[in-house]
Amino acid sequence: MKTALSVILVFILAGASLFSAGCKQQAEVAPVAGLQVVTTLFPLYDFARTIGGDKAQVTMLLPPGVEPHSFEPRPEDMIRISRAGLFIYTSKYMEPWAEKIVSGIDSRSLRVVNAGERVPYQPGGSHEHEHGAREAGGHKHDQKGMDPHIWLDFANAALMVDTILDGFVAADPGNAAVYRQNAEALKKRLDALDVRYRKGLSSCANRTLLHGGHYTFGYLARRYNLEYHALSGVSSDSEPSAERMAALVREIKSSGSNYLFAEELLSPRLTETLAQEAGVGVLMLHGAHNLSRDDQAKNVTFFDLMERNLVQLQKGLQCQGK
């Protein structure tokens, strides 16, 4: 894979260089100001643009509305990364393709940041595997697989901010003071968000978070002492068995819950079917992997998404003082 990516990138860059040379006599292209930063997922993009402020140009690989678990990078994505000063991804668990891309790029000026390297990962999806959830193609998902959705524990998100900050400072030490100031303000906002969640979810009549999708909210549930049952595994490609679907319906009925949660950006059809079978409503939660086109146009932030989630959780779990 590494060799193939390298060969593809060499031809693409060579073609781009020839085209650039042909056009250079007609017009000089003005350099883009600031540190060039490319990120994979939305939390990384939002944290990086906050830290960078007006000293950096931050972009995200994922197009609006695209689900990241099955994302396939394009040749032009590799070019963007190779021309950047900083490339930020979450981890090998979330974006296994990111490490393959980086290994195929020969760029001495590119700094690569694994934003999750300081985070203590936890296994994901153990509950549903006891009920026979299967991956697409009929294969059992690895029960020892790590849950990659680390940003949904805001203490983890703060560790990610620290790691991203280190990357900014190493790539652009001249603006280190600005980056540190912005990162510190960002971490204070994460602390305040954590306090709101703790207070908002402290007195709920129901403490079982039932999710008719893939195992996304395990970190959030653990941090706020919620029991979490998901329909399928950590990958959005997981295919739940008929046994697992029937088991979730029984769990809904026995829990006394009035709602089953679905996830934004993924089809709610199966969740709605199970909710109808159990006689409950459906509420949406956002995993924050990416934004819809509408949210992107509104310049929605990570904090906006998390505030939406808190409102939905308080409603679905029947929390007092919501």
157 and 10 housed in the same domain: yes
Q: Is residue 129 part of a domain?
A: no
pLDDT reported for residue 6: 47
58 and 207 housed in the same domain: no
CA 45-143-265 angle, to 5 degrees, is 35
47 and 179 housed in the same domain: yes
Contact 42, 66 (CB under 8 A): no
237 and 115 housed in the same domain: no
Q: Domain range for residue 228?
A: 203-316
11 and 158 housed in the same domain: yes
Q: Is residue 198 part of a domain?
A: no
Contact 284, 268 (CB under 8 A): yes
Between residues 124 and 60, the one the model is more confident about: 60
Neighbours of 226 (CB within 10 A): 18
Q: Which residue has the tokens 């939390």?
A: 43
189 and 269 housed in the same domain: no
pLDDT reported for residue 101: 84
User: For 48-76, how does the pLDDT look when each residue is reduced to its tens digit (9 = 90+)?
Assistant: 999 999 999 999 999 999 888 778 888 89
Q: How far apart are CA 34 and CA 52, in angstroms?
A: 9
User: For 213-226, how does the pLDDT look when each residue is reduced to its tens digit (9 = 90+)?
Assistant: 999 999 999 999 99
Average pLDDT over residues 209-237: 92
The DSSP secondary-structure symbol of 119 reads S
- At 201, give phi and psi (nearest 5°): -110, 15
Domain boundary among 165, 193, 221: 193
Q: Is residue 15 part of a domain?
A: yes
Domain boundary among 193, 224, 253: 193
49 and 91 housed in the same domain: yes
pLDDT reported for residue 32: 60
173 and 270 housed in the same domain: no
213 and 107 housed in the same domain: no
Which CATH number do you get for residue 273?
3.40.50.1980
Q: Which residues pair with 239 in a beta bridge?
A: 134
Q: Is residue 16 part of a domain?
A: yes
Contact 174, 240 (CB under 8 A): no
160 and 300 housed in the same domain: no
Task: Tally the domains of the chain.
Answer: 2
172 and 266 housed in the same domain: no
- Which among 271, 187, 264 is positioned nearest to 231, based on CA atoms? 271
Q: Is residue 256 part of a domain?
A: yes
Contact 55, 172 (CB under 8 A): yes
Between residues 32 and 4, the one the model is more confident about: 32
Among 55-64, 99-108, 245-254, 280-289, whose mean pLDDT is lowest?
Answer: 99-108
